[in-house]
Amino acid sequence: MGTNGTVDTATFTANYTTSSLIGEKLMTHFNLQSSGKASDIAKWHNSIQELALQTRLGIPITLATDPRHSFAEVAGAAVGVGSFSQWPETLGLAALRSPDLVQRFGEIAREEYMAVGIRQALSPQIDLSTEPRWARTGQTYGEDANLTSALVVAYLKGFQGDKLGRHSVTTVTKHFPGGGPAKNGNDSHFETGKDNVFPGGYFDYHLEPFKAAIAAGARQMMPAYARPIGTKYEEVGMGFNRGIVTELLREELGFDGIVVSDWGLVTDFTALGEDMEAISWGVENLTELQKVEKILNAGVDQLGGEIRTELVIQLVNDGIVPESRLDESVRRLLKEKFELGLFDNPFVDPESADRVVGNDYFSRIGNETQRRAYTLLNNPDDLLPLPLNTETKFYADGFNASYLLARNLSVVDAPEDADFALLRLSTPYEARGGGFESHYHQGRLDFNETEVARHAAIMSAVPTIVDIYLDRPAVIPELAEGSAALLGNFGASPDAFLDVVFGTDGWKPEGKLPFDLPRSMEAVEAQLTDAPFDTANPVYRYGHGLSYAEKC
């Protein structure tokens, strides 16, 4: 997307522009990875629809997006919120245990997406986060299959409605058959994360949310990148895996919708300056043509993140893949475009987009949910909520003190001069790789010695209220012991944090942990990768979450 909603004329992939991908490659599905003003997105969407109408068949574009309503911004996984309403991560929705709220989120997100022309959500992500180190935990609903199953049903209804139609956004449920059992928690975009392992024999446990999604009318499925190790299935990436896609998903579970591969299975690419080989675990030695053949033979309908239409044409022309096989997938894809009403009218109103996206009501519900999802982990002597006293002196660390000053509160420069310290942290991770991999939070979950000492110095100088962003299960026994009160959030603004600390307007934490918080890295490494709730002696167990005491 260019400036002010124009179609960018720069070449961005293999020397193709957006216009040439539509006019020459005849592509009709795109993923929007940028954010901006709603009306600009809507104008751009209308422009590419105009280009599509000028092609021989005039097939309208289906525009997709990764999740874009939370605090995460991870290349290839989540888009910056831009002008959309801002909510906690899906972990925060899981912390509230409310299918009704998840459905309401889906309805609001659907209205915002449709206003700018987005008709395909590359979500929900219903992997079960049984490996605490896993880099994609933040976009899941935690490690409980039953809770995730209940919430995915509500999510699908919110986006799709009772029946897919012109007022729906179609969904892509991922990553089948569950990406959570990642060896050592490494992300499957990268070779270190290419294996899913099942030492506890919990393969079927990870299928449970997908069964619920299929029963609830899931329209599309995305197979995981990783390869299944030690199962009855071929040890190749799920998108290449006929046993996974056709035999398990389609034949055994009865899914008859669209299967779209995850991005970049065929062609090498560059992401954020980092050169990446095609993500083709187990079939790395195949040619590009052979990879496409294996993907199609697995039962996949659509190749995500690829523009290599010439390879599909060559497979047909060479008699390797029958045209009837392509017809199966084309029927599914065109049928959905018709059901969404794109052939009737693919255009949107840019002026309306600015009124709908991020409107006061949608933003208010998102902001309220940030506050409600807060999880009170420890509150000795019922310290919280603090009284709002202008004479109380605060030391702020991890957020801008201006948020306190805006409430007419006193701020000091050193913890020893304060009555209370407010310390905001994020779950630790190991920074790895270049531009692309550095966006993924992987590796250790505990703070290094320097940070532990820094936190300890603050906590020993003054009663300290600690707030930690839990995009993965942090190893924080020292914070549980040394803090005056401990809160966990799943994506929350500084104002949301302060409203909960002071109980402003009655706000209080309502969340319950969607996963265990381990006591040590040794415990993390000892637990079974695919097994839920098996952390030895965790600091806080799944479901933990305190409430504020009633104060007269």
Query: Which residues are part of the catalytic machinery?
Result: 262
Residue of 138, 289, 66, 249 lying closest to 278 (CA atoms): 289
What single string gives the DSSP state of each residue in 325-375?
Answer: HHHHHHHHHHHHHHHTTTTT-----HHHHHHHTT-HHHHHHHHHHHHHT-E
Residues sharing a CB contact under 8 Å with residue 430, sequence separation 6 or more, in sequence order: 442, 443, 444
- 3-state secondary structure (DSSP) of residue 220: strand
Question: Residue 58 has which token pair?
Answer: 């005039």
Pairwise CA distance, residues 500 & 487, whole Å: 9
Distance of CA 311 to the CA centre of its chain: 31
Pairwise CA distance, residues 166 & 144, whole Å: 34
Beta strands in 187-345 (DSSP E): 195-196, 220-223, 227-228, 258-259, 269-271, 274-276
Distance of CA 245 to the CA centre of its chain: 22
Determine the Cα angle at 380 with ends 377 and 382, to 5°.
95
Contact 391, 412 (CB under 8 A): no
Distances (CA, A) of 412 to 55, 394, 401, 455, 467: 64, 6, 9, 17, 19
Distances (CA, A) of 69 to 73, 118, 285: 10, 14, 39
Type and span of the H or E element at 31: strand 29-31
Residue of 308, 312, 275 lying closest to 294 (CA atoms): 312
The residue to which tokens 């889906």 are assigned: 106
Residue of 208, 263, 216 lying closest to 239 (CA atoms): 263
Pairwise CA distance, residues 41 & 38, whole Å: 5
Q: Residue 206, preceding bond cis, omega within 30 degrees?
A: no
